[in-house]
Structures are given as C-alpha cells and as structure tokens.
Amino acid sequence: MLHVLSCGVVLFPGLFFLFRKLLPSIFKQWTDADVVLVSERLVSFIHAVMATTAGLIVVSSCDNVISDRHWLATYFVVWFGVPYMTYDIYAMYLSHYYRFRVKGHEEYKKHSLRTMNSFVRREFLLVLHHIALLTILLPITLFFRKDQGDYFIGCLFLTELSTPFVSLGKILIQLGLQDCWLHKLNGVLVLLSFFVCRIALFPYMYWVYGRHYAIPLYSVPFHLSLACNLGNICILAPQVYWFVLLCRKGYRLYQRQGKALDSPSVTDNNKGD
C-alpha cells in the first residue's frame, strides 16, 4: 500500500519536472512561462485521462448504484486524486509566477508572500475548487458514505472528461495553431464535454438516484441529506460559471474570425474602386 501511495505522490510532480526539462530543448524560443504552462497542461491531460478511465470502469461495474462496490472508487481518490489536487495548486502558482515575471513585474523577481497572495486573489475560484475537493470529496469518499454509492463517485471522476480538451486548446494556442481546424474542432468538444460531464451530469445523478428508489426527480433533493445537496452545489456552481466564461470566449473568437474573413473582401472592394 505505501509504495503505491508514494508512487501517486511522486507521479505528478515527477512528470511536471520532466516536461520542464524536456520542452526547452525542443522549443528553444519558449520562455519559462511558456514551458511551465505547457508542462502543467500536459500533466493535467494525463491525470484527466486516468480519472476518466477510472470513472468509466467504476460506473460500468456497478449495476446497483447504491450498494455495488469497486475498489477504484476509494483508492483512486487516495492514490491519485489527492496528490494531483495538491500538486496542481503548486503548479498553478508557478504558472502564475512565471507569467508575471516574464512581463517584468518587479515583485516577481523572487517568490514571496506577496506573489502567493496575488496568485490566490487572481485564481481564487480555482484554488477554492481544489480545496473544496480535498475537504469535501475526500472525507465523503473515505468516511461518510458508509461504503455506498461507488457509482456516483465514478460519475464524479467523469467530470474530468473535458480537461484533456481544455488542455489541448491551450497547448495548440501556445504552438501558434489557434487558427487551424483542429483548434476549432477542439473548441466545440470543450463546450460539449464540459456541459455534459460537468453540468448535465449532476441532474443525471439525481435522476439515477430517484429511479433506484422509484421517486420523481423533483423529490430527490428532499430524499438526500442537506450535506449531500450542499456538496453537489459547491461542486456544480463553479462549473456553471466556467461554462459561461467558455461560451463567451468561444463567441468572441467566432466574432473575431468572422471579422477577419470579412476584411479581405473590404480591401478588394476598395482596390476595385
């Protein structure tokens, strides 16, 4: 058990360190901020694939959504979920630090409480989301669910399905491929996977729970404990906010590309005159 736990703790920081060493030798023009950003995104991609795979295994193995068990529902959280969320807070801070250091901000010449406070203020919702998963999902998984509901833990793992597409989008932008067809297709997949796996998944879980107990969907919240409902709301609320931001970003990108397509025709008409 201990060697597996230590493997989980070492895996993500180790991958992050490896990518930070390899990428500058391949992309020599990249700054420290570029290298840290892409390294963070690559590790997020790997963790998301692992979490999604674990979620699919757990969900497909549980016929009874309440009583059926699968060992991954508990041990993936301990072995990989907690180490990743802890590591990712650090990786996000480094990405924030180098981004502002490259821009020439004086206070970012070295790490300090000031740079950490700036990071927490700017990325407050992301940091809060990570802390909430560590303080809500972990205790529920290990102590409070009384060996029930592995199916729903597997569903929560599936929320990571959108992360590979989000990470790929940022990597493509870093590579200067934001105008290629792959980036456009990936943008559609980001919105679709994010909505299905991070928003629609929650009413789906309520519906599955209601079907198991033969109660209508609108009665399910009253059948669950207040703590369970509040926990779901705490996880769902930032997802809705981020989805709105993604939609706005996609709309602005669509408008910008539309203007870029229109501009050559205007130029041609002017030349014709």
Q: Where are the domains of the chain?
A: 2-263
Residue 271: pLDDT band with limits 50, 70, 90: very low
Nearest of 100, 135, 134 to residue 116 by alpha carbon: 100
Report percent pLDDT > 90 for the chain: 64
pLDDT at position 152 is: 94
Q: What is the pLDDT of residues 96-151, one digit of tens each?
A: 999 999 888 888 888 999 999 999 999 998 898 888 888 877 777 777 788 889 99
Whether the CB-CB separation of 43 and 19 falls below 8 Å is answered with: yes
Predicted confidence (pLDDT) per residue in 11-61, tens digit: 999 999 999 999 999 999 999 999 999 999 999 999 999 999 999 999 999
**What are the two backbone dihedrals, phi and then psi, of residue 201, each rounded to the nearest 5 degrees?**
-60, -35
Contacts 24+ apart (CB under 8 A), 244-251: 246/190, 246/191, 246/194, 247/191, 250/187, 250/191
**Per-residue model confidence (pLDDT) at position 201:** 96
Q: What is the mean pLDDT of residues 164-186?
A: 91
pLDDT 10s digits, 222-234:
999 888 888 888 8
What are the C-alpha distances in Å from 50 to residues 157, 172, 192? 9, 22, 20
